Amino acid sequence: MRRSVREAIVGFSLLAAVVGGAGFWMWLRGISLSQNNWILKVSFEDAAGLADRSAVIFRGVQVGSVRKIRTTSSAVLAELEISDPTLQLARPTRAQVQTGTLLGGDAQVALISSGNPLPESAPLPRAKDCDNKVMVCAGSELKGVTAASLNSVTELMQSLLAQVDEKQIVAEMARTTRSFDATSKEATEFLQRAQVLVAELKRSVGKADPILANLNTASAEAVAASRHVRNVTAALDNPKTLAQLKTTVGNAERLTARIDAVGGDVNKLTGDAEFMDGVRSVAIGLGQLFDELYPAQTKAAPKPR
């Protein structure tokens, strides 16, 4: 009886060891017996550091692992085994190879979805009605990209330095700086000349002010003369003024005849009533004429007492 128990224990121990070893071998090979896992295929131009069993993460959480990697002449093909059957990824979605830090670390694949969140009623990736145009379904193919790393940054800097050396960018920048300096000096000289010109213009304007004042005075006098000419013309166009002018001229002719007849005798002239009437007529006629020519000045003059 005791022998049978010992043999049974040994047999079960061997069976457990075989099963455990097989399970561990399958885990190392990435073989899973679960029916809930689903596969994604990703192509990378460069998958540096990526290997079998590398982690697959989404928003910082591990959702699967790299099942198999195969290289071709144009790309690196990787099969991703997703262990979360409810993971819904809205398109567009890309797969990116990342490392723990910029200095390096274990490589992993990050799934990045930039599409609008899917509704709760959306089908699961393994469902038959899964729309591959809207979301990532089981068996879908994605385009992979490589995140920045210390090596890539170093290569980029070396490439930029090579281009700078090849195209002599530093020398061109130096020449451009010298051109800027020369242009700045020319602009400064131009501004100085402009300031001198402005000062000269101000002095010229100051000199022109008296001339402009004289022109204004002459213009005012010309306006006044023009007004006098218009008054004379208007008075000459008045028939009454012409009649008075004719009467005044006639009185002046008679007065002149009287002066010639008297021969310069003042007492005889003042004693001649007809002569004095002629003088008064001439004075009155001239006064009326000036009233017609310059009504404003004659009306404003005070009357003799």
Q: Residue 47 phi/psi, 5° resolution?
A: -120, 55
DSSP three-state, residue 257? helix
CA distance 72 to 70: 7
- Label residue 298 by pLDDT band (50, 70, 90): very low
Side-chain-side CA neighbours of 19 within 13 Å: the count stands at: 6
pLDDT digits 0-9 by tens, 6-25: 666 767 677 777 767 766 65
User: Running DSSP on this structure, what letter comes out for residue 270?
Assistant: H
Q: Once rounded to an integer, what is the mean pLDDT over residues 153-179? A: 71
For residue 7, what are its two tokens?
A: 């043999």
The answer to whether residue 292 scores a pLDDT higher than 80 is: no
What pTM was estimated for this model as a whole?
0.42
Provide the mean pLDDT of the chain.
75
Mean of pLDDT values over 56-68: 91
pLDDT in tens, 87-144: 999 999 999 988 766 555 678 899 999 888 888 888 998 888 999 889 999 988 998 8
Can you say how many angstroms the Cα of residue 33 is from the centroid of all Cα atoms in its chain? 63
The two counts, helices (H) then strands (E), for the chain are: 7, 7
Instruction: Give the pLDDT of residue 228.
Output: 67
Q: Find which of 89-98, 169-178, 225-234, 242-251 is predicted with most confidence, using mean pLDDT.
A: 89-98
| Tokens 């190392």, residue located | 28
Cα separation, 90 vs 101, whole angstroms: 27
Among 116-120, 178-182, 195-199, name the one with the lowest average pLDDT.
178-182
CA distance 194 to 157: 49
Cα 169 to Cα 153, 158, 161, 162, 178: the distances in Å are 21, 15, 10, 10, 14
- For residues 251-268, give the mean pLDDT: 65
210 pLDDT exceeds 90? no
Is residue 39 pLDDT above 80, yes or no? yes
Q: Residue 77 pLDDT more than 80?
A: yes
Structure tokens that stand for 38 in this block: 């689903």
| C-alpha span between 58 and 36 (Å, rounded) | 18
Q: In the predicted model, is pLDDT for residue 265 greater than 70?
A: no
CA distance 234 to 294: 11
> Cα–Cα distance between 95 and 113 in angstroms, integer?
9
305 — pLDDT class (breaks 50, 70, 90): very low
Which DSSP category does 144 fall into?
E
